[in-house]
């Protein structure tokens, strides 16, 4: 029996994939695995028993990764599963920033509905007029799952698209329309684009990457869109630019005291991934990844441990070890197993930066004592007997 705990509501389409041997617990401390969306986990202590956290979504800045890693907790996310939902919001954001659709609707809602409503509407409409996005320059910072989709959609809407991503993945590059200008100097985007949209993860390296200096380079009347994370942008500087008439609109998915109801901002309450399809996709992917990890020890789409696929164990036993990526670890593991007379059938050792993961299939069942001896090795964070 496995127990899972949901820190946020998770789509039933995903949770229904858990078979009967999985139970949804009300108590986080009892959980083998935790599912989360945007809940802040930085001040939460997860139980020793908890082996995995699955973020049903992309951004993992709400999860203390270093702390989890050193507890041997594998953190998963669901790359691309909600990217289309965000892409559609970005397109909507560009349109809302270009035409005063909201102003027009609000004006109409306040009117008395009388026989002459059509006539009054025709008279008023000029104050809600705007411009088209076709033919305008769009700069995209971050060409990952979302950035690529936004880029390709914008091309189809007739925009001239410039993309910047020094770490673009091979997959993303393959999916990118050939009509997009892939540029190496981010300042070109700041200087030349009418619309700028950011789609990078929030890390120490990207925090406040758009600040006063970057805004100063931008064209007058630029529209800045932020569906990634508010802390990527110096929003005090944005509000000054909006007030000064330098920036036309700031479209953001993140409400906070700086931007909520501020002039010329369009703020949505973190709705990018709030579609039936995105919520279902993320939940299904998160649940499948958790099940494969809990039952087989396989890792796919983890942000803190390497991928590892040993399939289903066909030998007598399997154990997995989460540990630091330093010399002499494997020899210590094989010594413990050799001393206990345990024969190794197969072994996989993978690393991701400072951390590593070892999966060992053996020809006889593994005792708790052997697992304890492995756990006692310095810089071993967790040992699981899978079978």
Ligand X SMILES: O=C(O)CCC(=O)C(=O)O
Residues that bind ligand X (CB under 6 A): 37-38, 57-59, 82, 270, 272-274
DSSP, residue by residue, 123-145:
HHGGGG----STT-EEEEE--SH
234 binds, among ligand NAI, ligand X, none (CB under 5 to 8 A by kind): none
Interior/surface letters 196-207, b for 16+ CB within 10 angstroms, e for the rest: bbbbbbbeeebe
Least separation in angstroms between residue 359's CB and ligand X is 28
14 binds, among ligand X, ligand NAI, none (CB under 5 to 8 A by kind): none
| Cβ-proximal residue to ligand NAI, closest one | 144
Closest CA to 31 of 14, 9, 53, 16: 53
The helix/strand/coil state of 151 is helix
145 binds, among ligand NAI, ligand X, none (CB under 5 to 8 A by kind): ligand NAI
Query: Given the complex with ligand X, which of 80 and 310 has the nearer CB atom?
Result: 80
Number of DSSP helices (H) and strands (E) in the chain, helices first: 13, 16
State both tokens at 124.
């008023």
Contact (CB, 8 A) for 4 and 24: yes
What distances in angstroms separate CA 7 from CA 10, 31, 41, 149, one per listed residue? 8, 11, 9, 29
Where would I find the H helices in 193-275? Answer: 212-217, 235-243
| Cβ-proximal residue to ligand X, closest one | 57
Least separation in angstroms between residue 81's CB and ligand NAI is 8
318 binds, among ligand X, ligand NAI, none (CB under 5 to 8 A by kind): none
d(CA 48, CA 295): 18
Least separation in angstroms between residue 184's CB and ligand NAI is 11
Least separation in angstroms between residue 35's CB and ligand X is 11
Query: Given the complex with ligand X, which of 11 and 98 has the nearer CB atom?
Result: 11
62 binds, among ligand X, ligand NAI, none (CB under 5 to 8 A by kind): none
37 binds, among ligand NAI, ligand X, none (CB under 5 to 8 A by kind): ligand X
83 φ/ψ sector (left φ>0, alpha ψ -120 to 50, else beta): alpha
Place of tokens 């999985």: 22
38 binds, among ligand X, ligand NAI, none (CB under 5 to 8 A by kind): ligand X
d(CA 108, CA 117): 9
Query: Given the complex with ligand NAI, which of 28 and 183 has the nearer CB atom?
Result: 183
The helix/strand/coil state of 96 is helix
Least separation in angstroms between residue 73's CB and ligand X is 19
Query: Given the complex with ligand NAI, which of 3 and 279 has the nearer CB atom?
Result: 279
d(CA 364, CA 344): 9
Closest CA to 35 of 18, 52, 22: 52
Query: Given the complex with ligand X, which of 59 and 144 has the nearer CB atom?
Result: 59
Query: Given the complex with ligand NAI, which of 140 and 287 has the nearer CB atom?
Result: 140
Contact (CB, 8 A) for 254 and 228: no
Instruction: State the residues that interact with ligand NAI by CB under 6 A.
Output: 57-59, 79, 82-83, 86, 141-147, 164-165, 167-169, 172, 199-202, 206, 227-229, 253, 270, 272-273
Cα dihedral 115, 118, 119, 121 sign: positive
Least separation in angstroms between residue 121's CB and ligand X is 36
Least separation in angstroms between residue 85's CB and ligand X is 9
146 binds, among ligand NAI, ligand X, none (CB under 5 to 8 A by kind): ligand NAI
Least separation in angstroms between residue 151's CB and ligand X is 19
Least separation in angstroms between residue 175's CB and ligand NAI is 11
Query: Given the complex with ligand NAI, which of 52 and 145 has the nearer CB atom?
Result: 145
């Amino acid at each position: 029996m496995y127990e899972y705990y949901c820190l946020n509501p998770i789509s039933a389409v995903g949770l229904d994939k858990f078979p009967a041997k999985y139970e949804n617990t009300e108590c986080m401390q009892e959980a083998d695995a935790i599912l989360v969306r945007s809940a802040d986990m930085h001040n939460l202590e997860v139980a020793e028993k908890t082996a995995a956290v699955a973020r049903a979504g992309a951004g993992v800045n709400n999860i203390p990764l270093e702390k989890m890693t050193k507890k041997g907790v594998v953190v998963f996310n669901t790359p691309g599963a909600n990217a289309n939902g965000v892409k559609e919001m970005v397109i909507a954001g560009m349109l809302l920033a270009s035409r005063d659709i909201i102003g027009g609707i609000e004006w109409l809602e306040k009117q008395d509905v009388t026989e002459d409503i059509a006539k009054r509407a025709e008279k008023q409409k000029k104050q809600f007029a705007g411009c088209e996005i076709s033919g305008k320059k769009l700069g995209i910072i971050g060409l990952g799952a979302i950035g690529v989709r936004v880029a390709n959609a914008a091309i189809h809407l007739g925009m001239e698209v410039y993309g910047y991503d020094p770490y673009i993945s091979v997959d993303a590059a393959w999916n990118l329309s050939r009509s997009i200008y892939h540029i190496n100097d981010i300042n070109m985007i700041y200087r030349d684009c009418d619309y700028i949209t950011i789609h990078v993860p929030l890390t120490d390296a990207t925090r406040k990457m758009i600040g006063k200096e970057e805004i100063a380079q931008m064209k007058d009347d630029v529209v800045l869109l932020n569906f990634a994370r508010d802390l990527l942008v110096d929003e005090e500087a944005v509000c000054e630019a909006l007030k000064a008439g330098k920036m036309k609109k700031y479209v953001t998915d993140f409400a906070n005291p700086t931007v909520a109801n501020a002039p010329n901002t369009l703020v949505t309450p973190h709705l990018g991934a709030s579609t039936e399809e995105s919520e279902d996709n993320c939940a299904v992917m998160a649940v499948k990844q958790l099940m494969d990890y809990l039952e087989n020890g396989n890792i796919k789409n983890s942000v803190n441990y390497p991928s590892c696929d040993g399939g289903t164990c066909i030998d007598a036993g399997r154990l997995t070890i989460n540990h630091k990526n330093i010399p002499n670890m494997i020899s210590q593991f094989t010594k413990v197993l050799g001393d206990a007379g345990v024969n190794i059938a197969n072994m996989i050792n993978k690393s991701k930066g400072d951390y590593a993961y070892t999966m060992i299939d053996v020809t006889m069942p593994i005792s708790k004592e052997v697992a304890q001896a492995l756990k006692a090795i310095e810089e071993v964070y967790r040992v699981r007997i899978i079978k």
